[in-house]
Amino acid sequence: MMDLIPAPRSITRDPRGHGRLDAQTRLEAGPGTEGIARWLRATVGAATGLPLAGPGDGEPRIRLAVDPTLPPEGYRLALGGPDQVIAGGSAAGVFWGAQTLRQLLGPDAFRRAPLRPGRHWDLPEITVEDAPRFRWRGLMLDVARHFMPKEGVLRYLDLMAAHKLNVFHFHLTDDQGWRVEIRRHPRLTGIGSWRTRTKFGHRASPLWDEKPHGGFYTQDDIREIVAYAAERHIAVVPEIDVPGHSQAAIAAYPELGNTDVASASGEERGALSVWDTWGISPHVLAPAEDTLRFYEGVFEEVLELFPSEFVHVGGDECLKDEWRASPAAQARIRELGLADEDGLQSWFIGHFDRWLSARGRRLIGWDEILEGGLAPGATVSSWRGYAGGIAAARAGHDVVMCPEQQVYLDHRQHDGPDEPVPIGYVRTLEDVYRFEPVPPELTPEEARHVLGAQANLWTEAMEDHTRVDYQAFPRLAAFAEVAWSGLPAPAERDFAGFERRMEAHYRRLDALGVGYRPPSGPRPWQRRPGVLGRPIDGPPPNR
């Protein structure tokens, strides 16, 4: 496969021929491909030192064109001779073809400046025809637990694009922080965006980082991130958690909580702070009309910032103890004619399903939104194994498969003692490569509801971007191939061939400055000796 990752559908090569790029190479952008031309000049042009000037006389040329006979995200890359042609079924297809061209130029094409100015760049005579298996090829980044500054987010969008991933699930709110400016509710960031200290390691760890931690994205930051992603044909799906995982919001606006219930922690409600440890907070939103109106205001501003088809509302790990103890919540259950607290959560999610649908958007939530009845238009992120996704698909709902036991990249990569803050099951590079998003028990009609797959990066134990890099790579490269390529059944996949291609891909990651986990194990500075994790022994369940 010419060391390409993800593996393309087909490659035809003439070993006798070759093409080249040099200072005279022209870049011709057909209608609809102007953005890809800008990207090529900014990345490949910067790395090679070649000007890639616009149309004119002479050869060689790179020609970009939209060809509607190709699949929407498919492309045909034809190299060799005077013209290097990248055609795609859409601008996105052309962009993915440009990513393949960059890989074929070699690892130095992933640098930000030329190592040897004035050189020419040889290309094989080759035709690559390719298209993705799934429309949703996602990465979830949790910036609520540990904030990632804007430059780090933009960097991860570039890394996603390099791997042909096209959905960025942006986890913006949780118990430990609120990360997006909402102008009508300024205390969400004024109070909710920072905490006084942070647990270091698993929640059972005795260690604390005693300095304040926080940060948020202004609305202009969000607009920049969304525009940057769009230039790379990546959709940004925001997540605003309701009704659980909301302690940061309640700390900022105490009236959002169940004010008629004594705090389980003994804190006065008005003194509740942004949470400084991990786990599932007992503090959840009150099922009141005022709460709905507050979050409608939040989502109105979110919709202005994010043009994405989908909006994620969380819906996971909503502890019901406060609702059980709250006279107001119990009265609400009776008023609505609901069976229990699960029905109350379903009512909460159903309200925002209808609210978003009325505005031309689609609600997506974690698979707990199945409990108490699934809202009519909802899409499910199946994280607690495959079962939630199977149930949703059989009921005619769309599904994104992201089972914790398979593609939660915060889980440890090896069972050795040097793994930094080991969390969860061992999920090796090979384990991720053998992940299959479509459960075999689904019929072909049901399987069509599987939009695709997503890898998730929860950052409780990832205090900075170097830890995120370590957990994400190289496994994200394996996940990208699963989501893009038409691979055989898991047991039949050529992992040895993938490992051989990874030898070249590690050099690309080196050029990009990615602090991946080497195959031989963590480097000394990647370890976290003495920091308690939560390893789980044995193989993970498949369901």
- Contact criterion met (CB below 8 Å) for 404 and 385: yes
From 108, 317, 340, 342, active-site residue: 317
Strand partners, 84: 62
* Residue 77: other Cβ atoms inside 10 A: 24
- Contact criterion met (CB below 8 Å) for 479 and 432: yes
Angle (nearest 5°) at CA 142 between 138 and 143: 130
- Contact criterion met (CB below 8 Å) for 23 and 50: yes
Catalytic-residue membership of 317? yes
Per the structure block, which two tokens stand in for 467? 């830890």
Name, in order, each residue with C-beta under 8 angstroms of 145's C-beta and a sequence gap of 6 or more. Answer: 174, 176, 177, 278, 458, 459, 460, 462
From 163, 169, 233, 245, active-site residue: 245
- Dump strand ranges (E) for 348-502: 362-366, 379-382, 399-401, 423-424, 450-457
The backbone torsions φ and ψ at residue 239, rounded to the nearest 5 degrees and listed phi first, read -120, 125
Residue 38: which of 90, 117, 89, 91 has the closest Cα? 91
Catalytic-residue membership of 245? yes
- Angle, helices 219-231 vs 150-162, to 10°: value is 10
Give Rg (Cα) of the chain.
Answer: 24
Is 516 in a helix, a strand, or coil? coil
Q: How far apart are CA 153 and CA 129, in angstroms?
A: 31
Burial of 342 (0-12, 13-18, 19+ CB in 10 A): middle
Taken as a whole, the chain contains a residue count of 543
Sign of the CA dihedral 169, 194, 355, 306? negative
Residue the block writes with tokens 């991990």: 278
From 130, 174, 469, 481, active-site residue: 174
The one-letter amino acid code at 63 reads R
Q: How far apart are CA 209 and CA 505, in angstroms?
A: 35
- Angle, helices 341-357 vs 327-336, to 10°: value is 70
Catalytic-residue membership of 174? yes
Per the structure block, which two tokens stand in for 460? 């409780």
The catalytic site residues sit at 174, 245, 317
